């Protein structure tokens, strides 16, 4: 066998191994998506990456970094691509728009829509669109429309679309994304809400969007007009402990200046979860019910042990006036579960710890194992009395609402 033949054989084997892995774990469930992921040569769209890197089921391939070494463009992991394609439920003959290009996902979409459908992929970066154009042509997909544009401001004018798939992390839902959808069409987007990102399958219902599913994911953030930066609050007088807020800092951050000088309050919830249990609904529930919700991170090089989260890089936290609290865990005696606990600092630390503890217990009783909240997106300016849900997240162009139903209610309905 020639080296080229050997490489092709290895790529085919690795590609099928990845799909086998994803189907066995339940990440892929539809034969249409499974078929196109077996057919399209993923490695051909990740030049510079080894076959092992290209066919890592759970790893993205970074294709571009900024001057600080931060990833700004990548080919998503097979797990994420398959998940979003299944959420989109693309059918033959559809008109599909992809926002955030690279080539590979557009090739998958071209296979799914077939000869009677159309695919347009748009990106803000000319280097990305040039690469995508070249790779699509080289691999047999010259029919894909590759457009250089900022999809937050300028649409390619080929709508309306049956499906719009956003492959970059979005903080807001732009008006055009809804307006360019057919009624009943789907928008699949990794949406950041209060610091948590979920890839959500939205269906257009008149003037708003309603979610059908939401999955945990991670994406490089959008650039251009839709870019949004979190705000950081340092609470220890150094860079050791940072609280990241997605929707603006507390009204008076200085109230927390002396919080870490108090004794740490520790309270345990009696709520235990298995080591492999999915708890993404707990994250979303706390983001819904806690007004001061944020994410805490600890610099490992400066860590003095003042706080003791189970994850130094990402811990659910909240601020209330002059106090803050965060969620942590400890192993149970059987070493197969962890128990949730709350640590709090500040003058009202005991009260705040109790509040968070009760919310964790409510989640365990009413929402654990459930589908999570119903997420709806309405245009900015929609009156409060026309919005459903327990939490409204105001963004620049939209108002996002989260509505919860107990597991019992969900089962009954």
How crowded is residue 394: how many other Cβ atoms within 10 Å of its Cβ?
A: 10
The DSSP output letter for 76 is P
> What does the DSSP assignment read for 78-111?
HHHHHHHHHHHT--TT-EEEEES--SHHHHHHHH
- The candidate with the shortest Cα–Cα distance to 57, out of 85, 24, 21, is 21
81 within 8 A of 59, measured Cβ to Cβ: no
**Distance (Å) of CA 188 to CA 44, 87, 163, 200, 299:** 25, 7, 8, 5, 34
Alpha-carbon Rg for the chain, nearest whole angstrom, is 23
Active site residue 50: no
164 within 8 A of 199, measured Cβ to Cβ: no
Question: Which residue in 50, 71, 74, 76 is the catalytic one?
Answer: 76
Q: Look at phi and psi of residue 229 and say left if phi exceeds 0, alpha if psi is from -120 to 50, else beta.
A: beta
90 within 8 A of 113, measured Cβ to Cβ: yes
Give catalytic residues, as residue numbers: 76
């Amino acid at each position: 066998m020639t080296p080229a033949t050997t490489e092709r054989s290895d790529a085919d084997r690795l590609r099928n191994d990845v799909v086998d892995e994803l189907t066995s774990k339940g990440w892929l469930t539809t034969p249409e998506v499974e078929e196109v992921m077996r057919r399209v040569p993923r490695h051909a769209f990740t030049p510079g990456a080894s076959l092992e890197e290209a066919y890592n089921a759970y790893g993205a391939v970074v294709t571009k970094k900024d001057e600080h070494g931060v990833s700004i463009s990548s080919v998503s992991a097979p797990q994420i691509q398959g998940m979003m394609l299944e959420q989109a439920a693309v059918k033959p003959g559809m008109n599909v728009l992809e926002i955030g290009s690279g080539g590979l996902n557009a090739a998958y979409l071209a296979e799914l829509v077939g000869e009677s459908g159309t695919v347009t992929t748009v990106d803000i970066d000319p280097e990305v669109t040039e690469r995508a154009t070249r790779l699509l042509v080289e691999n047999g997909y010259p029919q894909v429309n590759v457009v250089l544009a900022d999809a937050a401001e300028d649409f390619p004018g080929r709508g309306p679309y049956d499906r719009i798939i956003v492959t970059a992390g979005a903080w807001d839902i732009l008006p055009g994304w809804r307006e360019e959808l057919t009624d009943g069409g789907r928008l699949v987007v990794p949406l950041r809400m209060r610091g948590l990102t979920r890839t959500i399958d939205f269906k257009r219902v008149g003037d708003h969007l309603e979610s059908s599913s939401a999955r945990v994911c991670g994406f490089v953030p959008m650039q251009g007009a839709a870019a949004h930066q979190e705000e950081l609050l340092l609470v220890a007088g150094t860079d050791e402990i940072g609280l990241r807020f997605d929707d603006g800092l507390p009204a008076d951050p200085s109230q927390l200046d002396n919080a870490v000088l108090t004794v740490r309050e520790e309270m345990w919830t009696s709520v235990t979860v298995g080591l492999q249990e999915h708890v993404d609904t707990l994250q979303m529930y706390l983001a819904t019910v806690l007004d001061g919700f944020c994410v805490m991170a600890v610099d490992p090089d400066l860590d003095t042990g003042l706080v003791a989260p189970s994850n130094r890089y990402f811990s659910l936290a909240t601020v209330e006036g002059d106090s803050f609290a965060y969620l942590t865990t400890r192993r149970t005696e059987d070493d197969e579960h962890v128990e949730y606990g709350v640590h709090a600092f500040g003058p009202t630390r005991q009260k705040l710890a109790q509040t968070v503890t009760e919310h964790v217990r409510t989640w365990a009783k009413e929402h654990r194992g459930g589908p999570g909240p119903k997420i709806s997106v309405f245009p900015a300016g929609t009156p409060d009395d026309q919005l459903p849900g327990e939490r409204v997240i105001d963004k620049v162009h939209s108002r996002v609402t989260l509505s919860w139903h107990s597991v019992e209610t969900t089962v009954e309905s």
